[in-house]
């Protein structure tokens, strides 16, 4: 029952009125030897005993502190037998993965350490100190283990906040220092961005060996873990090990917790992988762009520069290590090789397309490989190849140099009044047959030699007329010009068709190679399926 100050004075007044007051306050109030300053002893009212108990609890704790720290040396190892090691149980509670610096290979975490041991000198009987079950000692007042993070990357090395040590009546000490730990971690970028990192946190005593301090491991606690936007925590297994140094015979135990985390690939997939796949697909359009457009080389160079920019972005976040090449860098490199080869092939295609007919005819092996084998494999046909010429008949078929009947009629000269008719009449009964010309698909019609054809090919007219000789010379010149133009056009047509075959062949080959590289390189990551199913779902 809780008493108010008014209730205390009412009880005291009632006792005085009835003459039953147990004790009258003397002029000099008596003091209890164990009581605090200003604590009077009143054995009468009902609430006086409770007030006396509350005032005495603080004095028990103060007395206990004095008894515990009397002759206590914080440098002394608190064991009953100095030949026995002191067992320290160690664990940690991971709250947050704050940052993973791949370039500097530093892991930053928010961790609460958990250490417990039994101090032989910090024990008391609860019955002698009623109400005092636990006490707290600040840092440096009692002994505590010097457990540090071995692979610390912090400038102060020890990044913990030194809190009080909680001690109970049996001497069990519990020390829970929190801290922002920066630890060195080897970042394996082999499968970036589908990588899983294993960062170790190695803890151990800095000055005590295994014969003086037995460090035992307890499971790590992740119940209060705060999720990270870039990393998924897979687990934090622990392992206790002992290591021998050349200086000492005794082992040095340590506890190593491995923070296993998987990178979330959604960010890198949307900002690096998908743009790279689209750019590599644009590189295939180089082979679909017509050669006469003049933009094939420009498109290839633009795609190559775009991939170079993405490559530089990846290089900025990756550590400068030569141990392994990141998966995404392999994909970018293969895509850049494909685009570079496409530019080289485009130069060859343009060379074929704009080939000078005076530079010579197509080599035989090139014609066989490109125009015959590759064209058949790609199901490509040259323009005009489907058209079938009608067979030449020997009945009244008129044939000339270009399968066109040519005739010329000269006006009658005014000098002599004679009508001079000069012409090339139809050739009756001429036998014509197609003859293949090198490099030309449809050969021209060859006619059997006649008198008029003999005249066109340089023969002299039987009459020896000079006007007719001039006309024949002009006709031969025109026929030769048309023949040369036909041959030049045929050569250009061959080279242009060869360029189209090379374009189509490279389109198919580079498409297959791009698909194989995309699937083969990206799916080679061990956790590719898991990353896609969890991050892109």
Mean pLDDT of 477-495: 79
Q: Are 410 and 420 in contact (CB under 8 A)?
A: yes
CA pair distance 280, 304, nearest whole angstrom: 9
Question: What's the pLDDT at 57?
Answer: 56
Residue 302: which pLDDT band, with cuts at 50, 70 and 90?
very high
Q: Are 104 and 320 in contact (CB under 8 A)?
A: no
Q: Which of 1-10, 372-381, 396-405, 434-443 has the highest mean pLDDT?
A: 372-381
Q: Which of 165-174, 413-422, 441-450 has the highest mean pLDDT?
A: 165-174
Residue 52: which pLDDT band, with cuts at 50, 70 and 90?
very low
Q: Are 346 and 296 in contact (CB under 8 A)?
A: yes
Mean pLDDT of 437-450: 41
Q: Residue 84 is encoded by which pair of tokens?
A: 């026995």
Question: What number of helices (H) and strands (E) belong to the chain?
Answer: 11, 14
SS3 306: helix
DSSP string, 71-123: T--TTS---SSTTSPEEEEEEEEEEEEEEEETTTTEEEEEEEEEEEEE-TTS-
Question: What's the pLDDT at 386?
Answer: 56
Do β-strands 196-205 and 231-235 pair in parallel, antiparallel, or remain unpaired? unpaired
User: How does pLDDT run across 105-149, given as a tens digit for each residue?
Assistant: 999 999 999 999 999 999 999 999 988 999 999 988 999 999 999
Q: Are 215 and 254 in contact (CB under 8 A)?
A: yes
Radius of gyration of the chain (CA): 51
Question: What's the pLDDT at 222?
Answer: 95
Q: Which long-range contacts (CB under 8 A, 24 or more apart) does 422-426 make?
A: 422/467, 422/468, 422/471, 424/400, 424/452, 424/456, 425/452, 426/396, 426/398
C-alpha distances in Å from residue 192, one per residue of 189, 262, 522? 5, 11, 10
Lowest average pLDDT, out of 73-82, 177-186, 526-535, goes to 526-535
> Residue 222: is it exposed, middle or buried by C-beta count within 10 angstroms (0-12/13-18/19+)?
middle
Lowest average pLDDT, out of 46-55, 172-181, 361-370, 476-485, goes to 46-55
Question: What's the pLDDT at 370?
Answer: 82
For residue 319, is pLDDT > 90? Answer: no
Question: What's the pLDDT at 153?
Answer: 94
The H or E element containing residue 149 is strand 147-149
Q: Which of 107-111, 388-392, 495-499 has the highest mean pLDDT?
A: 107-111
C-alpha distances in Å from residue 40, one per residue of 37, 45, 98, 213? 9, 13, 57, 49
Residue 473: which pLDDT band, with cuts at 50, 70 and 90?
confident
User: How does pLDDT run across 201-251, given as a tens digit for each residue?
Assistant: 999 999 999 999 999 999 999 999 999 999 999 999 999 999 998 888 899
Among residues 459, 461, 457, which one has the least CA distance to residue 446? 457
User: How does pLDDT run across 275-291, given as a tens digit for each residue?
Assistant: 999 998 888 888 888 88
Question: What's the pLDDT at 10?
Answer: 40
Q: Residue 243 is encoded by which pair of tokens?
A: 């290591």
For residue 443, is pLDDT > 80? Answer: no
Question: What's the pLDDT at 454?
Answer: 52
Question: What's the pLDDT at 519?
Answer: 92
User: How does pLDDT run across 81-110, given as a tens digit for each residue?
Assistant: 989 999 999 999 999 999 999 999 999 999
Which domains, and CATH codes, for the chain? 86-264 (2.70.170.10)
466-496 burial, b for 16+ CB within 10 Å, e for fewer?
eebeebbeebeeebeeeeeeebeebbebbbb
Question: What's the pLDDT at 226?
Answer: 96
Lowest average pLDDT, out of 11-20, 76-85, 386-395, 482-491, goes to 11-20
CA pair distance 309, 312, nearest whole angstrom: 5
> Residue 380: is it exposed, middle or buried by C-beta count within 10 angstroms (0-12/13-18/19+)?
middle
Mean pLDDT of 385-395: 47
C-alpha distances in Å from residue 242, one per residue of 3, 252, 402? 61, 5, 100
- Write down the mean pLDDT value for the chain: 78
Top-confidence residue, 53 or 227: 227
């Amino acid at each position: 029952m809780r008493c108010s100050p008014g209730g205390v004075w009412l009880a005291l007044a009632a006792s005085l009125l009835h003459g039953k007051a147990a004790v009258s306050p003397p002029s000099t109030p008596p003091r209890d030897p164990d009581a605090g300053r200003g604590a009077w002893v009143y054995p009468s009212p009902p609430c006086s005993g409770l007030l006396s108990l509350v005032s005495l609890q603080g004095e028990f704790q103060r007395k206990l502190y004095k008894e515990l720290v009397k002759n206590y040396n914080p440098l002394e190892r608190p064991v009953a037998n100095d030949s026995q090691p002191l067992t320290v149980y160690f664990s940690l509670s991971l709250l947050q993965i704050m940052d993973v610096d791949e370039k500097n290979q530093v892991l930053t975490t928010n961790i609460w350490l958990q250490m417990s041991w039994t101090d032989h000198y910090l024990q008391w009987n609860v019955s002698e100190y009623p109400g005092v079950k636990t006490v707290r000692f600040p840092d440096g007042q009692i002994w505590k283990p010097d457990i540090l993070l071995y692979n610390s990357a912090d400038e102060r090395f020890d990044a913990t906040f030194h809190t009080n040590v909680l001690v109970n009546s049996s001497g069990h000490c519990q020390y829970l220092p929190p801290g922002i730990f920066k630890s060195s971690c080897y970042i394996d970028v082999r499968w970036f961005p589908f990588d899983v990192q294993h960062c170790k946190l190695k803890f151990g005593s800095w000055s005590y060996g295994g014969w003086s301090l037995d460090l035992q491991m307890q499971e790590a606690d992740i119940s209060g873990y705060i999720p990270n936007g870039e990393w998924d925590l897979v687990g934090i297994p622990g392992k206790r090990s002992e290591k021998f140094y050349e200086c000492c015979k005794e082992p040095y135990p340590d506890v190593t917790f491995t923070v296993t985390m998987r990178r979330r690939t959604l960010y890198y997939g949307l900002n690096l992988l998908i743009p790279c796949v689209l750019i590599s697909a644009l590189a295939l359009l180089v082979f679909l762009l017509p050669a006469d457009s003049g933009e094939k080389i420009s498109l290839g160079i633009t795609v190559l520069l775009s991939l170079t920019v993405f490559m530089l972005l990846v290089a900025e976040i990756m550590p400068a290590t030569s141990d392994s090449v990141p998966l995404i860098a392999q994909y970018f490199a293969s895509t850049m090789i494909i685009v570079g080869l496409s530019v080289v092939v485009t130069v060859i295609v343009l060379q074929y397309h704009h080939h000078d007919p005076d530079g010579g005819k197509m080599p035989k092996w090139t014609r066989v490989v490109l125009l015959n084998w590759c064209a058949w494999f790609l199901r490509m046909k040259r323009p005009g190849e489907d058209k079938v010429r009608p067979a030449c008949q020997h009945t009244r078929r008129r044939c000339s140099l270009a399968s066109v009947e040519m005739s010329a009629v000269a006006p009658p000269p005014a000098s002599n009044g004679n009508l001079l008719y000069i012409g090339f009449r139809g050739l009756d009964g001429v036998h014509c047959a197609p003859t293949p010309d090198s490099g030309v698909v449809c050969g021209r019609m060859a006619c059997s030699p006649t008198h008029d054809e003999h005249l066109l090919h340089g023969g002299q007219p039987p009459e020896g007329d000079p006007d007719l000789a001039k006309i024949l010379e002009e006709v031969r010149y025109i026929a030769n010009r048309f023949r040369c133009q036909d041959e030049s056009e045929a050569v250009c047509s061959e080279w242009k068709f060869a360029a189209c075959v090379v374009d189509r062949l490279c389109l198919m080959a580079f498409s297959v190679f791009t698909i194989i590289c995309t699937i083969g390189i990206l799916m080679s990551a061990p956790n590719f399926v898991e990353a896609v199913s969890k991050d892109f779902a």
